[in-house]
Each structure stands twice: as structure tokens, then as C-alpha cells.
Structure 1
């Protein structure tokens, strides 16, 4: 029997840098995809329990019929007054009752809502469907005080801000200097009155993700490793103290449980990245999806300090919709040129997680639907 848990990552004052393939140091994303989160967690696990233990755990993902656990990508949460809002990626298909037409401004406004508050996501894709046409039209005109606004639908970007920090690179040969900027994301926080043994900062926004354990005995170990990862930091620029967080393990609220247990859906929407090879023939039938190239550099743990580029793979992104529940696999992205000298260079195979997590939804029935 599987169990679901939710983890919130509270960054407080700490800046974070989440780079993507093709994005330079000057830019950063506001959240961490599931494959990056999985890799960071496995690296922390190896530091705590050793490389052999990490290899054995990865073998379970490769060989067992059901993965020991599945991770969603991280998404934004924020607290507005007394309300805690979780955002989910909007599925790529229209919800039931969506007024398909030729109103370009309306379609742009709808598609601009890439992330939806949990209660709106549930109402559109598991409940009564799209009932907010008039309010969305009012939003286009700058007038909005309805259910969408009260739920925080238009407040996603208020949870964080991007900033750039100037840095200096020094040429090792000529000692010439060069100034460059590194992008960071800062989540909302506020100062609070100091109390004995209490922190002086309250995180008003940050990241959260879902975990589905097929092996409930792994839960305590998982969160212990996650706590350790919080001290190490996640993302780039960790040597500067970026990416450190504190973990808050939340019980699933009734609305979350209702969403997970929903059994009247006709499709599944990804809340993580997804990769599988070969793909089942039925998976892409009537599917709606986007692909993202995933790659990057691998830092060697050997004394040589040699860096190698991992093989890149294309993955289905969050919000992609399939008519059958996708499962996913680990993708072997070990650099091909170092295979013969693997032990000398990195000492192990390198994987990127395409093991996915999805939620059941209902979509509008049309030629592009999943029914």
C-alpha cells in the first residue's frame, strides 16, 4: 500500500540559483524539476550512507516493478494573510466547460495561467469544470475581485523575485578579471519577533513537492536525508551558501487527499518530468505534451576534478496529459567517452530520473482529448 506525503522547503532569507540547460549563470528558474531533486537527494544519500548503498538503492529503481518512491517536481507555495496556497501546473488540455472560441485575448489570458491554486485546479479538472469565464474577461480589463482572485490565481509571481549579484572571475594564467552577474531567486519572508530558541525569520513562500512511497519504511530515511540536503543546499552557487533550506513535513490536507483519490478521471496530468524508453504504443494516443531537453555537467568526485557533460535526454514536462497513467524510468546518462575509464573518472553509472508522478483529471471531450 502506497502513502503520499508533502514536504515544504523553507528558504527564509537564503537565495537560490536553479539553472537550466541553455540558461547562463545570469538567469535562474524559480523552482526545481523532479530529476534535479532526485539527483540531489541521491547524492545526499550517498554522502550519508556510502556509494554502495546509493548504488543498491538505484538498482531497486531499475529492477523492481514499482519504484520505492516517486517525486513530483517542486512547485511554489505562498502564504497570503492566513491562507496557505499551493500551486500546481495547469494541464495542457482544456477543462470541461471551457468556452472554445475565437477570442484571442481570452485564450492568451487563460494560457498565461501556467500555475493554478490547488482549489482552482481541483475545481477545473476534477470538479464542476471551467466556470470563471466572466471573471477572466474582467481580469483582462483590469477588474477582478471574484473567486479566482481570492484564491490567489493571479498572485503566483508575488511569491518570489529574481535578483542579480555581481561577481568577479579571475583568469588563472593572466590574472585578468572579468565582472559577470549571477541570477538568484529570493522567496518572500518577513522578520518576526525573536523568541527564545526561535528563528527570527518567517518564510511566507517557498517550494513544496509530493512524495509517493510504495515502501512506507523508507519515509523516515527519506526525510532524514532531505534534512541533510537542506544543510548542504540545492541548486548552484552552494559554495556561496545558496540553496539552503529547512524542511517542514506536512500532513495531506483533505483537499489534497480528495485530489489524489479522485476516481472519475479520464486522463492523467504530470506533476513531474517523465522519460521512458521505449514508450508504450498507447501512451501517445490523444496525448497533449511538451518536451524539454535535460542535460548538464557532472562534477567528478576524484582528485582530478575533471568535469564531464552528461548525455542529454528529452523529457515530457509537467502539465503533459496522457490517457493512461505513465510510469517512467531512470535514464542512463553516463558520459559515453568515459565508459572504459569509468572507475578512474567517476566510479559509477550516472542516472537522471524520468520516474514520474501524475494526478487523475477530467478534460473537455474533443478530438484532442484523452477520452
Structure 2
């Protein structure tokens, strides 16, 4: 029986710079995707335990049942009130690319005008609070009250749950930088984009009021491996994740929570439980696979799948060369079966020192959808 855990990344006052293909250095995303997290994590595992150990670990991840599956990171947010408890933490999940059950269509609403206003708001919600996500996609589904609240947005259960407050968890800003040419000493002025998560100063020091979290699924109970991976993640927190680490960006502290025992994640235990056989699967990680039989089941044989694909590339630090590009299914994609995924070999042809992998190992949650 596998084991689920939730990991919080607390950045405190540290800025982060999470670049993605095509957005430029002046912009920064607010979260890290599963392939980037996996690469950074494994790189620090190699620093701690050496080349032989990391090669053995990667070989385990190449097996049909890898030892660990991780989600992409998503936003969590805690209230500022000192009287609040951890149970008030809001965890955001990506909205599945299918309508929830009982979602109203056309004539089910009072008018075409209401339909348009409601639909625009619904489509703008890329991330949903955990309790709303669970109710819409695993529970009773969509209600008439939800449609009314999406049109109003100033009151009701959706407002109280933080459905419209996703962007209040962080702020985007830019810092000026100067680059100096090593040969000509000419200067170039530019800006770099950063994200700052919400924090506050209290009697105990700096408290992270928002940050990132991700889910981990361990295939087997392997305490030695878990201990090593936790140590590698701690080292990653000291080194920093993302770009601009030389400027102190991306530093974090990690907190591991057991879904079964941690009071702050009590509702998660029900979220990860399997549903009935008719349930679909919603990706909460990136996913890649080159097995034609699996891809055929996911997208060719089933017209009910809904998905988006994104190119993933980037530079490799050793030698400053580009990794091969791969196209991956993104979070929120919906399939009729669990998408397994695997490591993609993205080693550039001119790089001979060792293999370079990008993780397309999938992690998904069961959902009910409207067909």
C-alpha cells in the first residue's frame, strides 16, 4: 500500500524567480512544475550521496513502478489572524479541464446573458480551493448557488472559501540589474521579475503566510529512501530553487505532513482515495510517455479526454547547453485512466558525461465529470 504525504515549501522573505520557456527574464511564474522540482531535487541528491547512488536512484525511476511520484507545486495560503488554526489553510488545486457534474448549460440558466457572465468567471478560475475542488469534482457537484455566486463574486460559500483570492497569496515585482561585458566592460541595464509570497513578522520570527506545496506518493514504505530524499530536499532549500539563486532567490524551508495524521490536511485523506470505476483522472503533475498503447488508451480511443500540451525545454547548467525539447501534458488534463508516465531522455547529442532526464512521471487524482 502506497503512502501519501504533503510537503510545504516556506519561502519567508525570500523572493523567487521561476522562469518558463518563452516568458523572458522580466517575468516570473508563481509556482514550479513537477519536472523542474524533480530535476532540482535529484541534483541535490547527487550532491549529498554521489554519482553511484543517484544513478541507482534514477534506474529505480525508470521502472514501471517508480519509488515516488510527485505533483507540481501549487499555492497554499494561511490567514493572518493570530487566532486562526492550521485548519484554515487554503490549498489550491488546478481546475480540471472538464465541467463538474451538474454544471448548467445554456437553457438550464435563466438567460443567455447570465450564461455568458457565469462562464467567463468560471473559465478564469485556473485554481480552486481544496474544499470547492472536492465538492465540485468528487462530491455533490455544481449547484445553482454556485452559478449565482460566480456571477456576483462578493458573497457566499465560494467567496468564503477563497475562490477569488488566489492572487492575494503573492506579489509580482521587478528589480533592476546591470550586466557588465567581460571583454568591453560595456554595461547593459535590465529588469528581472520576482515573486514574493505573503509573510509576517511575529514574536517567533518570520512566518510564511503563503507559499508552495506539493503532494508525494511513495509506492512502498521505504524509510531509508524517504530519509535520503528529505535530506536532499533540505539541501535544495538551502541552495534555492529556480533562477537568480546567486542573488539569494528561491530559499525555503520544507515541512512534511502525513495526510492521515496531520490535522491541517484532514480533508486530503478523502481527496486521494479512489472513487468508483467510472471515475476519471485529473493530472496534478506534468505527464509524458512514449508508449503508444498507453497514449492510445488516453487520447485516441476515448473522445472524452480533455488535455493541454506544453513544450518543455531549457538550459543544462553543466556546459551551458540546451536540453532536448519534449511536449508534455499539463496539470488539469483529464483522462479515463491513470496516466503512468516515465522519465524522458533529453540528453543533448553533444553531451557525453552522463544522461539527462526530464520527469514525465504522472500523478493524478480521481474525479467525477460531466460527460
TM-score, structure 2 as length reference: 0.90
Greater displacement, 224-233 / 7-16: 224-233
Q: How far apart in 1 are the matches of 2:97 and 2:199?
A: 32
Contact 1:268/1:361 (CA < 8 Å) preserved in 2? Answer: yes
Structure 1: state its 5+ residue gaps: 195-199, 301-305, 366-371
Contact 2:6/2:215 (CA < 8 Å) preserved in 1? Answer: yes
Q: 1:269 to 1:139 in 2, by over 3 A?
A: closer
Contact 1:160/1:186 (CA < 8 Å) preserved in 2? Answer: yes
Counterpart of 1:159?
A: 169
Counterpart of 2:109?
A: none
Q: RMSD over aligned Cα, in angstroms?
A: 1.3
Match of 1:296 among 314, 317, 327: 314
Pairwise mapping of residues 19-168 of structure 1 onto structure 2 (< 5 A)? 19-62=19-62, 64-80=63-79, 81=81, 82=84, 83-101=88-106, 103-131=115-143, 133-141=144-152, 143-168=153-178
Greater displacement, 114-123 / 51-60: 51-60
Q: 1:96 to 1:135 in 2, by over 3 A?
A: closer
Contact 2:149/2:158 (CA < 8 Å) preserved in 1? Answer: no
Contact 1:126/1:262 (CA < 8 Å) preserved in 2? Answer: no
Question: Is 1:192 aligned with 2:202?
Answer: yes
Question: Is 1:182 aligned with 2:195?
Answer: no
Q: How far apart in 2 are the matches of 1:348 and 1:136?
A: 54
SS at match of 1:178: strand
Question: Is 1:245 aligned with 2:252?
Answer: yes
Contact 1:331/1:354 (CA < 8 Å) preserved in 2? Answer: yes
Match of 2:284 among 264, 271, 274: 271
Q: How far apart in 1 are the matches of 2:251 and 2:103?
A: 41
- Kindly state the Cα deviation for residue 105 of structure 1 after the two structures are TM-superposed: 2.1
Q: How many aligned positions are there?
A: 345
Pairwise mapping of residues 262-341 of structure 1 onto structure 2 (< 5 A)? 262-264=274-276, 266-279=279-292, 280=294, 281-284=296-299, 285=302, 286-300=304-318, 306-336=319-349, 338-339=350-351
Q: How far apart in 2 are the matches of 1:256 and 1:139?
A: 25
- Kindly state the Cα deviation for residue 117 of structure 1 after the two structures are TM-superposed: 0.4
Counterpart of 1:228?
A: 235
Alignment deviations for residues 208-241 of structure 1 (CA, whole Å, 9 cap, x no partner): 0000001321222221211111001000001111
Structure 2: state its 5+ residue gaps: 107-111, 260-264
Q: How far apart in 1 are the matches of 2:89 and 2:340?
A: 30
Question: Is 1:351 aligned with 2:350?
Answer: no
Please identify runs of 4+ aligned residues in structure 1 that moved more than 4 A: none
Q: 1:135 to 1:122 in 2, by over 3 A?
A: closer
Q: How far apart in 1 are the matches of 2:147 and 2:90?
A: 20
Counterpart of 1:173?
A: 183
Q: How far apart in 2 are the matches of 1:56 and 1:111?
A: 44
Alignment deviations for residues 256-299 of structure 1 (CA, whole Å, 9 cap, x no partner): 11111132352000000000003421111221000011000001
Q: How far apart in 2 are the matches of 1:46 and 1:84?
A: 34
- Kindly state the Cα deviation for residue 135 of structure 1 after the two structures are TM-superposed: 4.5
Counterpart of 1:303?
A: none
Contact 1:90/1:114 (CA < 8 Å) preserved in 2? Answer: yes
Contact 1:109/1:136 (CA < 8 Å) preserved in 2? Answer: no
